[in-house]
Structure 1
């Protein structure tokens, strides 16, 4: 099959882990890799993916190759393997807009080219690099920058995977325009492969399937990468809290006292994320059930496994003539899709789409 040509909006930690995962698959194309839920999606292997370009605003990344950009000081994710075919893909300047607003401005110096870049240049670059899919992995809260990339992809006819909590797929007007342009749109807010929300919602579904009544729950997340630094600003994290609330409601936690979201930046954790979750429920004869868990994961590889599914789903949707919001794979891949489903139903819907 023809390669899936992917462009990355944001050459950060998640992009680095995803690019490594692609490189590993390219080196071992017929191996079932740990963490890859589906070896093929729509007939595409992960080895069929090519990262052809990236966009960023960091002066340590812009104008460099993809491999060089991922050595920038802001990168905290572990380097597990060297990039292969895609190592020389260019990192192009993105318009600065609100990408570095908040705490990120204290650790990232914007490139001069980013101050001069335009949305029209982004759309032109997507066409010139013949990108099939644009993965938007910008900082949460960078609303103007995220929407600019969605508009550029719409202009270029490039399918979009929105990894951010910004409402792109949930935006009725924008989704309508993607439908009219015959361009697939997947989102919003990428789930981790086995992360806090996935575990939390799976436990909620389990309790509800046994007839228990939920009374209260919480999910608290801390980490040390630039994502958590950015989310330490309440003005940047608001959409993340809303997205996680959507995920809990889709799992069945309606009218339940609770909160879920990022609650702290601890620099020495690096790319490690800690989740502390609690669920209280009532069972037979009013007896109480209490679940308290701690989950420790490396944050960025946990996202890479889902992006690996999402880009192949987006290209498959385009191959099948689907346009606008693509509901089949989205409930499993995103926290806040337009139509959420419990974990088991979401998995079944994704597998049906992938086959």
Structure 2
């Protein structure tokens, strides 16, 4: 297979873990890596993915090769392996827009080149680097920046994977524009490989499959990376709560007292995320079943496994002549796709698409 040329909108923690995951695959293409659900998607291996450029606003990253940018102070994700051929991909300036609004502005200094950058610069760079897929991994709440990158990708003819909860694929106008232009759009809000939403929705589906009646549920998440710092601002986290609610409804939760979303920043946790979840239901004779769980994961590698699938799914969809939103792979990859499905159905739909 030919290489899938990927650009990263946001050279942060998730981008760092994803690039390392690709590097491991490139070093030994036939190895089945832990956490890689599908060795091939549409015939593409993870080893076929090449990160050819990234965009950021951080003065510690812009103008540096990718391997150096990932050593910036804002990076909390673990360095598991060295990068291979992607290490020298350039980190290009992106327009700041609303990317640093809120707490992030106190820990990230915008590069001068980013303050001067234009959307036209981004579109031109996507063309110059012959990008197949643009992965948007910007801070939650950066709706203007997310839309700008979507427009730039549309102008350049590059497929989009929207890892953020800002609505693109769910926005009918945006999806229609991508469809009319013949460009693939996957989203919204990346669903971690085995994260809080994945576990929570699986529990809901299990209870409903046994005929239980849900009565209440919650999912509370805390972490220590810049994503959680950003989400500590209620004005920035609103779309995340909406996205998680969409995921629970897709699992079958209706008319139930439920809350799910980020609830705190604890700096010393670093890239670790801790989820506390509770599900209550009525069972036989009105007896109660209650499940309390605590899940601890390293946040960014958990996202990398899904990005690895999403990038290959986007390229496969483009190869097949699809455009706009693509339903089959999306429910497994995203919390808030245009059409959600319970976990088991989402997995079956993805595997059918991937084969």
Which TM-score band (shorter chain)?
A: over 0.9
What residue number does 1:293 align with?
Answer: 293
What residue number does 1:239 align with?
Answer: 239
What residue number does 2:156 align with?
Answer: 156
Structure 2: tracts of 5 or more residues without a match: none
- Structure 1 residue 30 displacement after superposition: 0.1
What residue number does 1:170 align with?
Answer: 170
Distance across 2 between alignment mates of 1:128 and 1:254? 48
- Structure 1 residue 288 displacement after superposition: 0.3
- 3-state secondary structure, aligned to 1:121: helix
Q: After superposition, give the CA deviation of every residue in 1:27-56 in whole Å (9 maximum; x if it has no partner).
A: 110000000000000000000000000000
Distance across 2 between alignment mates of 1:185 and 1:327? 10
- Structure 1 residue 60 displacement after superposition: 0.2
Question: Aligned pair 1:45/2:38, yes or no?
Answer: no
- 3-state secondary structure, aligned to 1:5: strand
What residue number does 2:217 align with?
Answer: 217
What residue number does 2:202 align with?
Answer: 202
> Any runs of at least 4 consecutive aligned residues in structure 1 with deviations exceeding 2 A, and if so which?
none
Distance across 1 between alignment mates of 2:277 and 2:256? 15
Count of residue pairs brought into register by the alignment: 355
What residue number does 1:29 align with?
Answer: 29
Please, what TM-score do these two structures have when normalized by structure 1? 1.00
What residue number does 1:93 align with?
Answer: 93
Distance across 2 between alignment mates of 1:201 and 1:211? 16
- 3-state secondary structure, aligned to 1:260: strand
Please, what TM-score do these two structures have when normalized by structure 2? 1.00
- 3-state secondary structure, aligned to 2:87: coil
Distance across 1 between alignment mates of 2:28 and 2:232? 39
What residue number does 1:106 align with?
Answer: 106
Distance across 2 between alignment mates of 1:126 and 1:213? 50
Q: After superposition, give the CA deviation of every residue in 1:110-134 in whole Å (9 maximum; x if it has no partner).
A: 0000000000010000000000000
Question: Aligned pair 1:145/2:145, yes or no?
Answer: yes
Q: After superposition, give the CA deviation of every residue in 1:38-89 in whole Å (9 maximum; x if it has no partner).
A: 0000000000000000000000000000000000000000000000010000
Structure 1: tracts of 5 or more residues without a match: none
Q: After superposition, give the CA deviation of every residue in 1:311-354 in whole Å (9 maximum; x if it has no partner).
A: 00000000000000011100000000000000000000000000
Distance across 1 between alignment mates of 2:205 and 2:258? 16
Q: After superposition, give the CA deviation of every residue in 1:104-160 in whole Å (9 maximum; x if it has no partner).
A: 000000000000000001000000000000000000000100000000000000000
Query: Which residues in structure 2 correspond to 1:211-290 (within 5 Å)?
Result: 211-290=211-290
- 3-state secondary structure, aligned to 1:20: helix
- 3-state secondary structure, aligned to 1:165: coil
Q: After superposition, give the CA deviation of every residue in 1:144-179 in whole Å (9 maximum; x if it has no partner).
A: 000000000000000000000000000000100000
- 3-state secondary structure, aligned to 2:200: helix
- 3-state secondary structure, aligned to 1:229: helix
